[in-house]
Amino acid sequence: MKARVYKSTGSWYTVKGEDGNFYNARIKGIFKIDAISSTNPIAVGDEVDIDIEAVQEESAVITAIADRRNYVARVSPHNKRQHHIVASNLDQSILFATLKEPRTSQGFMDRFLVSCEAYHIPAIIVFNKSDIYRKKELERFQEYKQMYEAIGYQVVLASVLKKEGIEEAKALLKDKTTLLSGHSGVGKSTFINAVFPRFNLRTQEVSSWSGKGMHTTTFAEMFDLDNGGHIIDTPGVREFGLVDITKQELSHYFPEMRALLNECQFNNCMHIEEPGCAVKQEVLSGAVSENRYISYLNILDTMDDKNY
Ligand SMILES: Nc1nc2c(ncn2[C@@H]2O[C@H](COP(=O)(O)OP(=O)(O)OP(=O)(O)O)[C@@H](O)[C@H]2O)c(=O)[nH]1
Ligand SMILES: [Zn+2]
């Protein structure tokens, strides 16, 4: 039977069969050997074939996995050479960001956007907790909105607490498989609870001593939406690794730079010090945001010559 993976705890998977029932599934030993080199052979969002073992126990064996349409990965925290597939078969990804308690850095947002570009997943940024923004944060929001919308990304201002911007965010989810992402403590679980109360996820106060929030979500999990579509909630992701991207490719994943690449004097231009660089020229003219260019240089700096 065809099924889709809703949750993964490492060795067990919760899958939903095309009969509409949920099963606890595991993979056959041999399956692991054939799987691609990642720390997890099966990820949330995967489309799989299952053999039902015992209906009364609702257990099943995953016998095959369909090719992934796309996926998002990050570098394994345990082994830098391996990657961990966060989720697959996505229509879009929403980054939850906050400008206060905790503050999401532009560097983090840009790394996330680069990952989405590299994996061909449309990205949206929701700035949450607008109720606690003061003049400084509201100005910063306007700057981000202008900058990201000019590049083509959708930007939403929301306060889950005050129920502002929620309908706009909810409308974006309809009939799509959406990966919800963002630092721990930005309000992802609160958002899901507010829009789809029956999920009743656990939420937790941002810890006062660090201001960074505690991990309350441990495993990625997919939920069916009442009005059609799926949402995938991920563990508090602090950093996305840029797996499988070379330094030379990086500017391809900045859409505003991608449009200029043919105009650089050298076709292997890295847009740093080279003469005749169209990207640098447009940074000077203001057509390419200087902040985005700085993010580009910062990300380049953290990549080694081979990969990520
Ligand atoms: N002021 C304010 N606080 C909010 C808002 N949305 C969520 N919070 C609070 O922020 C804290 C963290 O919210 P969570 O929903 O647990 O955050 P999360 O992103 O799911 O965190 P992880 O599960 O760790 O990834 C909670 O104390 C929420 O009540 C908002 O719009 N405004
Ligand atoms: Zn250049």
Q: Which of 233, 257, 292 is the last residue of a domain?
A: 233
ipTM for the whole complex: 0.97
Q: What does the pLDDT read at residue 211?
A: 42
Measuring CA to CA, which residue among 153, 166, 154, 228 is closest to residue 193?
Answer: 166
* 187 shares its domain with 266: no
d(CA 254, CA 235): 26
Q: What does the pLDDT read at residue 200?
A: 54
Residues 6+ apart with CB under 8 A from 13: 5, 6, 7, 24, 25, 26, 27, 42, 62
Q: Is residue 31 one of the residues assigned to a domain?
A: yes
Does 189 appear as a known binding residue? yes
Give the closest residue (by CA) to ligand 1 atom 27. Answer: 205
Give the closest residue (by CA) to ligand 1 atom 30. Answer: 129
- Which amino acid is it at 238? R
Number of domains in the chain: 3
Q: What percent of the chain has pLDDT over 90?
A: 57
Contact 231, 192 (CB under 8 A): yes
Tell me the per-residue pLDDT of 191-220, one tens digit each, with 9 for 90 and over. Answer: 988 877 666 555 544 444 344 444 444 578
Q: What does the pLDDT read at residue 117?
A: 93
Residue 155, domain CATH: 3.40.50.300
Calculate how far, in angstroms, residue 237's C-alpha sits from the geometric centre of ligand 1.
14
Residue ranges making up the domain that contains 53: 2-65
pLDDT-flagged residues of the chain (< 50)? 32-35, 204-217, 307-308
Q: What does the pLDDT read at residue 105?
A: 94
Residue with tokens 């993979």: 27
DSSP state of 220: -
Ligand 1: lining residues by beta carbon, under 6 Å: 128-129, 131-132, 159-161, 182, 184-190, 203-206, 213, 215-217, 236
Give the closest residue (by CA) to ligand 1 atom 1. Answer: 129
Tell me the per-residue pLDDT of 139-152, one tens digit each, with 9 for 90 and over. Answer: 999 999 999 999 99
Q: Which of 205, 233, 261 is the last residue of a domain?
A: 233
Q: What does the pLDDT read at residue 258?
A: 95
Q: Which of 16, 39, 65 is the last residue of a domain?
A: 65
Q: What does the pLDDT read at residue 218?
A: 56
